[in-house]
Amino acid sequence: MKIALLHTAESNISIFQKAASEIGLPQGALHHEVRADLLAAAEKAGGLTQEIARETGAALLELARNADAVVLACSTLGPAIAEVENAIEVPVLRVDAALAKKAVKSGGLVVAICAVETTRAPTTRLFTEAAQSTGAQVEIRLVPGAWELFKTGDRAGYLAAIAEAAEAAYDDGATIVALAQASMAGAADLVANGPKPLSSPTAGLAAAVELLSMRS
């Protein structure tokens, strides 16, 4: 089994490797491609443009040539899957789509935490659509200043800010908190006043494995 992942941050590789180990994937099952330029372009443009979506789609197509499944690990670029999903013969999925599906499964108030402005709109669409079949109430929260901490390499400060936002969401009555960006996964272990927040690396890889098992 080979699952190819398209990242926009080098630091996310270790996060996904940890998630792979947690769900029992064998060593070497993941192949990582990092395209930080795609997220940088989206941030500069204020969101995902058609040109960036095409570039992302081309990268996904290339990864699919030598993989059993392809996972797009960036929430900002997520909608770009629509560019190629009908042209790729292997399963291709957004890592945050599996997260949204899992988060809304039991209904209640689902709060999705974002750190970067460009991911707010695609995350809102994704979670709102997922909630339509379960009746969950969805709220998207952006953590001010968190992305600047991430970009300057202050990982501890970044995760602490995300965890604080998650705890605030639980204080406000959230049933479950979802960490919408893969880079946030480590913050889940810092939250103590509610259920462990859901993170996308584990949910996304598990969904890919499930798809592959259905095809075998």
Per-residue pLDDT tens over the stretch 60-92: 999 999 999 999 999 899 889 988 878 888 999
CATH number where 23 lies: 3.40.50.1860
- pLDDT, mean over the chain: 93
My answer on whether 155 and 175 are in the same domain is: yes
Sequence length of the chain is 216
My answer on whether 62 and 107 are in the same domain is: no
126 vs 214, which has greater pLDDT? 126
Three-state SS at 145: coil
Distances in whole angstroms, Cα of residue 66 to Cα of each of 35, 63, 72, 90, 197: 18, 6, 15, 10, 33
My answer on whether 122 and 137 are in the same domain is: yes
Q: How confident is the model at residue 215 (pLDDT cuts 50, 70, 90)?
A: confident
Q: How confident is the model at residue 1 (pLDDT cuts 50, 70, 90)?
A: confident
User: Which are the contacts of 3, defined by CB distance < 8 A and separation ≥ 6?
Assistant: 25, 29, 30, 31, 67, 68, 69, 70, 71, 205, 208, 209
Instruction: Say how far apart CA 204 and CA 60 lie, in whole Å.
Output: 16
pTM score, whole prediction: 0.89
Share of the chain above pLDDT 70, in %: 100
Instruction: Say how far apart CA 109 and CA 170 lie, in whole Å.
Output: 10
Instruction: Say how far apart CA 157 and CA 74 lie, in whole Å.
Output: 21
My answer on whether 47 and 61 are in the same domain is: yes
My answer on whether 61 and 135 are in the same domain is: no
My answer on whether 128 and 208 are in the same domain is: no
Torsion 166-169-170-171 (CA) sign: positive
My answer on whether 29 and 73 are in the same domain is: yes
My answer on whether 58 and 70 are in the same domain is: yes
My answer on whether 168 and 189 are in the same domain is: yes
Give the least confident one: 34-38, 47-51, 170-174, 210-214: 210-214
Q: How many domains does the chain have?
A: 2
My answer on whether 124 and 76 are in the same domain is: no
Whether the predicted pLDDT of 216 surpasses 70: no
Domain ranges, residue 138? 97-199
**pLDDT tens profile 95-131:** 999 999 999 999 999 999 999 999 899 999 999 999 9
My answer on whether 163 and 207 are in the same domain is: no
My answer on whether 194 and 102 are in the same domain is: yes
- H or E element in which residue 129 lies: helix 120-131
